[in-house]
């Protein structure tokens, strides 16, 4: 883990709604990550709680994926390829 302070209140466990707010994703996507075991969770009854370390690891993977997309976009632009049109 890094020594940087996260941009959110540090707790031991986070609810699905809190993880969704922190990551900027829909709660359904967070539940899907848990179901696919892409995000560890502790289940208390029907409630899924995400440990801090698991959340931090997921944030690092999200950040790495965004960096890869940025570098590919930069490489495409440098090569003269037009960016893909995004549907509106």
Task: Write down the pLDDT at residue 88.
Answer: 57
Higher pLDDT, 53 or 80: 53
Measured between alpha carbons, how far is 23 from 11 in angstroms, rounded to an integer?
A: 15
Residue 53 to residue 22: CA distance in whole angstroms: 14
- At residue 45, the pLDDT reads 94
pLDDT at position 81, please? 63
Round to whole Å and give the CA distance between 28 and 82: 33
User: Averaged over 6-23, what is the pLDDT?
Assistant: 88
Summarize pLDDT for 19-75 with one digit per residue, the tens. Answer: 999 999 999 999 999 999 999 999 999 999 999 999 999 999 989 998 998 888 888
Would you state the pLDDT for residue 3? Answer: 53
Does residue 20 contact residue 59 with C-beta atoms inside 8 Å? Answer: no
Domain residue ranges of the chain, discontinuous segments joined by +: 13-76
């Amino acid at each position: 883990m890094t020594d940087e302070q996260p941009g959110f209140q540090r707790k031991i466990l986070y609810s699905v709604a809190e993880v969704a707010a922190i990551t900027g994703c829909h709660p359904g996507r967070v539940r899907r990550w848990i179901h696919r075991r892409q995000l560890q969770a502790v289940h208390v009854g029907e409630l899924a709680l995400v440990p801090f370390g698991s959340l931090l690891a997921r944030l690092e993977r999200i950040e790495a994926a965004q960096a890869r997309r940025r570098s590919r976009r930069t490489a495409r632009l440098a090569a003269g390829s037009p960016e893909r049109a995004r549907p509106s």
